[in-house]
Structure 1
Amino acid sequence: MYGGIVMRDIIYIENKHFVGITKDSFKLKNVVDESERYFPFDEVDYLIFDSRSSFISERVITTCVENNIGLIFCDKTHTPQLLMTSIYGQNERFKRQSKQLAMSKKTKGRIWQKIIKTKINNQADCLKYVVKNDKVSDIVRSIGKTVTEGDKNNHEAYAARVYFSNLFSKSFKRGRYDDIINSSLNYGYAILRSAIRKELVIYGLEPSWGIHHVSTENPFNLSDDIIEVYRPFLDALVVELLNNNESEELDIELKKEIIKVLFEKCIIDNKVYNLLDAIKITIKSFVSCVDKNSATGLKLPTFIEEGR
């Protein structure tokens, strides 16, 4: 396949390629067979570089900045390590960040409540549609109904224990482990997190200032808040991929399939969108919440009835 994967909005670059600019398009040239392909700027949201043997021109970087196109670079294990996106061009950046930092504790608590309730409901739907376990799905859904402002009783963690032990196995432990399940989840979450970070920056928000995550060592606390409601969609995809995959490690072919999580379908704002577009809708609605200092109007994704 030329240049790796070419999906709508995303160009995934592997093997030996030179990426340059010609007129209003990216030019991808295979340095081995010298074949070429062109992709208009307005059809691309991301360039993902997963090859240490590819080359990129300075004009590609400036063009991506000018057109709000994300540049993602992967390390030798093919894991996203760097996201480049423009921090310039937002005329109201200072004003918006001032409002973001001035958000009341009550507003942040209510936003977090909405995020966690929706996340837990999505986990319940994942169990219902993917694992076909209505009984446990109902248990998880009931946990979501009791989430309070700010989730002070940490129902998120309780739901997660029930959810993951039934989604995978009783012995499964979620975390930064190197088994194929955790490796697949962590890789997919990194892809989702990168997409969220890009939109936060485009709207002039301060990514380090979260509404719930407040680690002084995390420059992207806010993206870690927003991603919570999107995780179950990746979980569902990973379950399906691993059920049809005999490999015991996260290889390059499996990673290519996981990247497609951005094109999974969901319901948001009463319409069907892929996750890449849904993230844009969520962030835009969050900006409105920031401007109004209110949780009203926050738009979050849910599963399509009957699953993926």
Structure 2
Amino acid sequence: MKNILYVENVNFVGINKYGVKTTNVEDHTEKYFAYEDLDAIIFDNVKSYLTQHLIEKCTEHNVMLIFCDSKHSPLVLYDNIYGQTHRFEMLQRQLELSAKAKGRIWHKIVVTKIQNQAQCLDLLERPKTDVNLLKSCVKNVTEGDKHNTEAYAARVYFDSLFGKDFKRGRYDDIVNSSLNYGYAVIRALIRRELVIHGLEPGFGVNHHSTENPFNLSDDIIECYRPLVDYAISLHLRDRDPEVVELTVEDKQELVKLLFDKCVIGGKIFRIGDAIEETVKSYIACLQANSASSLKLPTFIEGGK
């Protein structure tokens, strides 16, 4: 995982012969960043400026551009879909993945997600009854999760995590705003890795909406969500409760969650790097038409 450049002030963002150059319009402060040190640039000020040359160079160096709206939510992604030598091969393998393999992949994702939810509650010292209930849900997950155990577990989980009055959705309260922002950043990084590795993000395993260009991203993110939830719970616990809106400082902290650590394939990775491991393992699943190679993240001991 490299660095994320977060542009929150009014900046002119361009290039020089070494990489990205930012100039603060108000105090004329200049900063420089090498392309090879950046994974993404997040523009979170509607008055910032950027050049066409910046877009060209970021595309060339696989630096993703993320643009936020006036409410500071990620709205537009720009990354490179060209130059992927195995793109047609990957597309063909995605289309040929059997229903049985999809069902087993989704089973693995749901089981890992619920296990991570239980671990999240345990780390945050929520009631043991809720933790044990989630653990018991795992053995009820069928191939393809035909009985939708995931949804039942989610109700138990969020009631315990944020209280029974909490409603998950696109609301403006601080908890939902934080979750939506954190999920959006992770989702964007997942999409980037999918595209870099020649995969079509619209062809999902379980998500298959014809109106969603990110179905596969939404499949993969599921087991990463509890890692985001845990980081956000810790952040909200330590911040001023009188501040009810998501601040620039909040968003900067949420971007840092990409550098939190998790376990994947028996090794410790930063979350941003773990995403690449998951995507690579999914490609192995496509090649073998099997779920056996899929690597998904879990918490490290102690949570971070």
TM-score class, shorter: over 0.9
Equivalent positions of 1:32-43 (< 5 A) are 32-43=26-37
- 2:272 corresponds to which residue? 276
- 2:288 corresponds to which residue? 292
More off after superposition, 105-114 vs 124-133: 124-133
Cα offset for 1:253?
Answer: 2.1
- 1:95 corresponds to which residue? 89
The answer as to 2:245 corresponding to 1:249 is yes
1:213 to 175, 184, 207: 207
- 2:125 corresponds to which residue? 131
Equivalent positions of 1:1-308 (< 5 A) are 8-245=2-239, 246=241, 247-308=243-304
CA distances 1:127-147 after superposition (whole Å, capped 9, x unpaired):
000134333212101111221
Which 4+ runs in 1 deviate beyond 4 A?
A: none
Cα offset for 1:161?
Answer: 0.9
- 1:3 corresponds to which residue? none
Cα offset for 1:33?
Answer: 2.0
Q: Secondary structure at the match of 1:307?
A: coil
Residue identity in the other structure for 1:260: K
Residue identity in the other structure for 1:61: I
Note the residue ranges of structure 1 that are not aligned, 5 or more in a row.
1-6
Cα offset for 1:251?
Answer: 2.4
Equivalent residue pairs, number: 302
Cα offset for 1:243?
Answer: 1.4
Q: Secondary structure at the match of 2:66?
A: strand
Identity of aligned residues (%): 53
Q: Secondary structure at the match of 1:150?
A: coil
C-alpha root-mean-square deviation of aligned residues, in Å?
1.3
Q: Secondary structure at the match of 1:259?
A: helix
- Taking the aligned partners of 2:255 and 2:37, their CA distance within structure 1 comes to 18
CA distances 1:45-91 after superposition (whole Å, capped 9, x unpaired):
00111112211111111111111111000111111001100111111
Note the residue ranges of structure 2 that are not aligned, 5 or more in a row.
none
Residue 126 of structure 2 contacts residue 161 of structure 2 at CA under 8 Å; is this kept in 1? no
Residue identity in the other structure for 2:62: N
Residue 130 of structure 1 contacts residue 307 of structure 1 at CA under 8 Å; is this kept in 2? no
More off after superposition, 23-32 vs 271-280: 23-32
Residue 126 of structure 2 contacts residue 160 of structure 2 at CA under 8 Å; is this kept in 1? no
Residue 119 of structure 2 contacts residue 131 of structure 2 at CA under 8 Å; is this kept in 1? yes
Residue identity in the other structure for 2:188: S
When the two structures are superposed, what TM-score results if normalisation uses the length of structure 2? 0.96
- 1:4 corresponds to which residue? none
